[in-house]
Structure 1
Amino acid sequence: MTDTMPDRGTAASLLPRRISRRAFMIGAAAGSLAVVGGCSRSPGAIPVTPRAEAIELVEAKRPHTGRTVRATLTAQANTVDLGGPTARTLSYGAELPGPLVRANVGDQLEVTVTNGLDTPTSLHWHGLALRNDMDGAAPATPDIGSGSQFTYRFSVPHSGTYWAHPHTPLDTDRGLYIPVIVDDPRERADYDAEWIVVLDDWTDGIGASPQQIFDQLRSPSRNGMDHMPGMHSMPGMTASSDSLIGPDGGDVTYPYHLINGRIPAAASTFSAKPGQRIRLRIINAGADTAYRVALAGHTMTITHTDGFAVRPVQAEAVLVGMGERYDAIVTAGDGVFALVASAEGKDGLARAVLSTAAGRQPDPHLRPAELTGRVVTVDDVTADPSVDLGELSAPIALPATLTGGMARYDWGINGRRYPDVEPLTIHEGQHAILRFTNQTMMWHPMHLHGHTFQVLNANGTRGPRKDTVIVKPMSTVDVAVVADNPGTWLVHCHNTYHMDAGMMTHLDYA
């Protein structure tokens, strides 16, 4: 391989377009990645069952380039520097986010995860419609025991912005997450550089631990209080009247909000030239916080959500729920500008800096006017015709009623708490309308594993292709699903604490 190796900080730095479109190698103490010739399609020993045969048949139909992209990750306890404060947490190295994994459509990923923890772990490939036995979430893929290794092997079916994280209890509120970017070499290069922006709400090793938060939320003595105490006190935790997610922003007050592992007072700086077109790839890796994201002095053109192209729409800000991703193009101005992610319905913000010229750093507490301008949500975007799922043929109904509440902290789906569920069932080849009906006073970002769905807007229009969608309190969202990826798949709220309290079920292929 002749390409040069980019800096370890690729996931948190500005990438020239020519580098981001080519094969490369990443190496770090906690992880490494390499591209080699030859593509072994076998994921190892798989029981010969009808379901395994169906998985293999679908895998064979996916694109295959003949290349294998290899990476290694070790999940372990680490001390991470957040830009001054340090936190003892679980992560894939001493920096957040973990090392970037990047491939082309049709490449085979071969990622070996070593579990250096005292508890089981896994690595779920969030948003990728990959083979079921490599999903990285039980029961489809067994968890990795303490001291053990597992290698995930699968072909990458779609281009876009994705990420990976464990699917073990409360671990999505720690530092175990990595960005995953899939390129399509056929895609027109209409931007000069890219900026990967990973958002996170942070408490582990600084305030209360995720386990302490969860225990307090479920405590009978909590008396239905709205937000978890024990962290840095922040006033005004009731969502403001202009909140886009309803009357309550979340369950947890966080000491910090981060962009690429840095607090606002020690923000990462991204360098570019005035006039360059920059592709922002925004990933919300938070556990309990939606973010309203804006770049001071700039207008964004939203181009993708959850990996899939949308009809371009102009925005001054964009709302990103947990698990969601949005891509946007900005034309860099001349100066120093704050990229701000304001915690929706909460106090607090995360910040990074775009620098194209000499100048003073923006105030760490700056809230640019763009945050109150036109804020794009899922309701404002539609799928590009090239990725539209098409008309449904005799769709079946899959009801997913979201139930529970803060008083007992008993979140569920269809009145049942995981693992005591009645799975949603579907046959391969069927079309379905998955209906999320929220009967609670909290908002929920609902995520479907192994598939992308198309949002069906209430006004009859066809929305974007996604895998995670915000469902507001006392509202309903319909999404179209094509059953083209057999297996057992999870459907759940991507609020870590709601999911681990029971808001999860299965989508099972009969």
Structure 2
Amino acid sequence: MSYLTSSVTRRNLLRFAASLGLTVGFHQLLTPKTRAQNQPIGELKRPDRYPEVIDLEVLESRLKIGDRVADAIAVNGTVPGPIIRLKEGQIATLNVSNRLNTDTSIHWHGIILPAQMDGVPGISFNGIKPGQTFRYRFPVQQSGTYWYHSHSGLQEQQGHFGALIIDPLEAEPFSYDRDYLIMLSDWTDTDPHRILSNLKKSSTYYNNQRRTIGNFGEDLDWAQMRMDPTDIADVTGATYTYLLNGMPPESNWTALFKPGEKVRLRFINASAMTFFDIQIPGLKMTIVQADGQNVQPVTVDEFRIAIAETYDVIVEPERPGPYTIFAETMDRSGYARATLATQPGAIAAIPPRRTRPLRTMADMGMMHDEMREGETGRGGDGEMGRGGDGETGGRGDGEKSSIKQHSGHDAHSKPQTSQPSDSSMPDGHNMSHGSEGHSMPDGHNMSHGSEGHSMPDGHNMNHGSEGHSMPDGHNMNHGSEGHSMPDGHNMNHGSEGHSMPDGHNMNHGSEGHSMPDGHNMNHGSEGEPHGSDTHGAGNAAVPMMVRNRLHEPGIGLENTLEHRVLVYTDLRSLVPRNDNLTVERELELHLTGNMERYMWSFDGKKYSESPIVTLYYGERVRLTFVNDTMMEHPMHLHGMWMEVDNGAGAYKPRKHVLNVKPAEKCSVEVSVDAPGNWAFHCHLLYHMDAGMMRAVRVVDRAAGGAV
């Protein structure tokens, strides 16, 4: 049976409100609001046996965080819900009983299962009515750290989520002595529907970090793009309390260890809207799993975890500590924390708080901003952050097609690549893609022709054989001779590679970039013009240039020799996969938005207006994301793995969530092996509810399109 429809709004699909005549009868089955408990989470122990049937009850509750009590949705009486532990190879049976007075659901995030068990109302099933019990039953085909949450309305924000841990059949490729869950979330005592309503009235409603004094010229640029450089998070610490395992920072959740032990920490970002930057001052963290999948170990000082991602790390404290597990929000408006200690009650210091980061014009692909002096990689008050190297990811063979219905292309047609002769820019800046060059602010010229690119102060950039002339006489040559850099450092974009500190090699040619620990990175070309926008009112502004940013740590973070931050190009699958699979089609998806109206969409169309994306069972497709907005978007595809095109070749990491940065163009490859109807959306809850969601239907091509 097919439950997929796109003729009504998503909200109607998700709520399934009971009729007035039935409500009275169903109320007899419902329980009154009870006081929810914070889920007590201690050291994880692998069970001797795994239950054949698990019963879960979803009910309205009242939850106390600090000195404030608010409505919550609990699972089995706790927030977060109970930890579900399964074994790879078993048949999982989970009975979910709805004790709410509205419909509910549970989605098993990142789990490969039959479509009708995926738990998305209106797409894969009808939802769970008040008073009803739905039986989820599916084979467990994987292992690792995952989670579950409601896919109905905004229930996830109210506490309807929990951890899902699947133990492997075979021994894991890493060892550890202790095992802990670190589940991060954002909590508010404000009704989430009111939050969404306020955001629609003003996208900066919860932004208490706006600048009072700024640069007049920069502020004009931002005003024309209807954005604010402090737009890092839609909802901030002024509204949210950030929880770790259901506890606020002052509760100091503690994990115990003995010096010399290896401690596994399973990080899950179960937030509705919050990115966290994770560090444990005094300890290195070795990433061993990403989104439940084994990766080649990479040791870092810090990593950013997007909404719905999971990372498993190993730490080895040699000293008694204590150590602070510090999860700072990306916008620096708050944090969650815990302590690693040898005894209960120990408290470690909170690391110094960092200044809030600021968006830059480079985050919108505005090259004239990148040319300004005094920029740094971090960004923040009093400084402007550089965007990056401006490169796009590798491409393979196969037909390229567009799902941008607004452009007049169907799912099999090639997208338009022609550019207008002149692109109008803010403040009358002009960018010409012809041989005459690009006119830039203050009369600076940028030419993509054979004569090179004229830069500020007369600096020249030549993409031809003569190289690129840079400030202070530094030369950049994209040909075989390499790039002359300050202090005699050489960058070669040809076959010889780039000389880097400590012998690290960067090769911008066909072999990719050799990175620390042998990681390879293929940047491909150096960015590309976005082209004219045809997304309508659903897209307020588009970047001038888009580029691959998988090698960047993200706004507010900076990679240095003393402080290594995880980037997506660090991730490599532990085992190789078949890299000879032919990509048959490329689907280009623009992530679009209008901040003034709080409209979020794909290709300028919200969910209720969007056509269904059709994939064919057995094909290999490349999904290319083009982020036209100033916000990060953690993209989640249900039912199938996304293999990130990060230059790792046969070792592409598998992810169920990929965070796409502003003005970024990046790709994933998908083996379409799951028939049925699936959801595909941004995992920022309010973005998804506002329309940033698509339905995907996997059909049998040979059977004439039958599911």
TM-score by length of 2: 0.59
Distance 1:460 1:449, change over 3 A: same
Distance in 1 (CA, whole Å) between partners of 2:258 and 2:205 is 43
Contact 1:201 1:257 in 2 (8 A): yes
The correspondence for 1:116, drawn from 85, 99, 117, is: 99
Distance in 2 (CA, whole Å) between partners of 1:476 and 1:360 is 45
Q: Which residue is equivalent to 1:259? A: 244
Distance in 1 (CA, whole Å) between partners of 2:262 and 2:115 is 37
Q: Deviations over 1:147-185 (max 9, x none)?
A: 211111001111111000011111221100010001113
SS at match of 2:653: strand
2:365 maps to 1:382: no
Distance in 2 (CA, whole Å) between partners of 1:236 and 1:338 is 31
SS at match of 2:165: strand
Instruction: Please show how residues 224-239 of structure 1 align to structure 2 within 5 Å.
Output: 225-228=203-206
Q: Deviations over 1:83-127 (max 9, x none)?
A: 554433112144332101111111111111111112111000000
Contact 1:379 1:463 in 2 (8 A): no
Instruction: Please show how residues 358-377 of structure 1 align to structure 2 within 5 Å.
Output: 360-363=346-349, 373-377=563-567
Alignment RMSD: 2.6
Q: CA offset at residue 344 of structure 1? A: 0.7
The correspondence for 2:136, drawn from 152, 156, 177, is: 152
Q: Which residue is equivalent to 2:681? A: 492
Q: CA offset at residue 366 of structure 1? A: 5.7
Q: Which residue is equivalent to 1:472? A: 661
Q: CA offset at residue 385 of structure 1? A: 2.0
2:300 maps to 1:315: yes
Q: CA offset at residue 279 of structure 1? A: 1.1
Contact 1:81 1:95 in 2 (8 A): no
Deviates most, 85-94 or 411-420: 85-94
Equivalent position amino acid for 1:77 in 2: E
Deviates most, 472-481 or 186-195: 186-195
Q: CA offset at residue 435 of structure 1? A: 1.1
Q: CA offset at residue 292 of structure 1? A: 0.5
SS at match of 1:228: coil
SS at match of 2:79: coil
Q: Which residue is equivalent to 1:443? A: 632
The correspondence for 2:43, drawn from 14, 27, 33, is: 14
Considering fraction of residues, name the structure with more strand.
1
Q: Which residue is equivalent to 2:261? A: 276
The correspondence for 1:296, drawn from 281, 287, 290, is: 281
Distance in 1 (CA, whole Å) between partners of 2:350 and 2:100 is 35
Distance in 2 (CA, whole Å) between partners of 1:228 and 1:395 is 44
Distance 1:336 1:461, change over 3 A: same
Greater gyration radius: 2
The correspondence for 2:118, drawn from 109, 122, 135, is: 135
Instruction: Please show how residues 19-38 of structure 1 align to structure 2 within 5 Å.
Output: 19-20=45-46, 22-24=47-49, 35=51
Q: Which residue is equivalent to 1:77? A: 60
Contact 1:398 1:424 in 2 (8 A): no
Name the count of aligned residue pairs: 438
Q: CA offset at residue 378 of structure 1? A: 2.0
Q: CA offset at residue 399 of structure 1? A: 2.1
Q: Which residue is equivalent to 1:161? A: 145
Q: Which residue is equivalent to 1:334? A: 320
The correspondence for 1:456, drawn from 636, 645, 660, is: 645
Equivalent position amino acid for 2:118 in 1: D
Q: CA offset at residue 389 of structure 1? A: 5.4
Distance 1:259 1:408, change over 3 A: same
Q: CA offset at residue 367 of structure 1? A: 5.2
Contact 2:38 2:79 in 1 (8 A): no
Distance in 2 (CA, whole Å) between partners of 1:463 and 1:294 is 25
Distance 1:237 1:508, change over 3 A: farther
Distance in 2 (CA, whole Å) between partners of 1:266 and 1:237 is 34
Contact 1:78 1:93 in 2 (8 A): no
Contact 1:237 1:347 in 2 (8 A): no
Q: Which residue is equivalent to 2:176? A: 191
Distance in 1 (CA, whole Å) between partners of 2:675 and 2:212 is 42
Q: Deviations over 1:43-64 (max 9, x none)?
A: xxxxxxxxxxxxxxxxxxxxxx
Gaps of 5+ in 2: 1-36, 214-228, 355-556, 700-707
Distance in 2 (CA, whole Å) between partners of 1:102 and 1:71 is 10
Contact 1:105 1:159 in 2 (8 A): yes
Distance 1:497 1:237, change over 3 A: farther
Distance in 2 (CA, whole Å) between partners of 1:214 and 1:440 is 19
Distance in 2 (CA, whole Å) between partners of 1:353 and 1:411 is 38
Contact 1:378 1:463 in 2 (8 A): no
Contact 2:209 2:230 in 1 (8 A): no
2:153 maps to 1:175: no
Instruction: Please show how residues 411-450 of structure 1 align to structure 2 within 5 Å.
Output: 411-450=600-639
SS at match of 1:498: helix
Distance 1:211 1:470, change over 3 A: same
Distance 1:334 1:481, change over 3 A: same
Equivalent position amino acid for 1:131 in 2: P
Contact 1:80 1:94 in 2 (8 A): no
TM-score by length of 1: 0.80
Q: CA offset at residue 362 of structure 1? A: 2.3
Distance in 2 (CA, whole Å) between partners of 1:453 and 1:108 is 24
Contact 2:642 2:654 in 1 (8 A): yes
The correspondence for 2:270, drawn from 266, 285, 292, is: 285
Distance in 2 (CA, whole Å) between partners of 1:105 and 1:483 is 22
Contact 1:249 1:346 in 2 (8 A): no
Q: Deviations over 1:364-405 (max 9, x none)?
A: 67659xx8732213232122225x353331431122211112
Q: CA offset at residue 459 of structure 1? A: 8.9
Q: Which residue is equivalent to 1:48? A: none
SS at match of 2:184: strand
2:198 maps to 1:216: yes
Identity %: 34
Q: Which residue is equivalent to 1:41? A: none
SS at match of 2:232: coil
Distance in 1 (CA, whole Å) between partners of 2:337 and 2:243 is 7
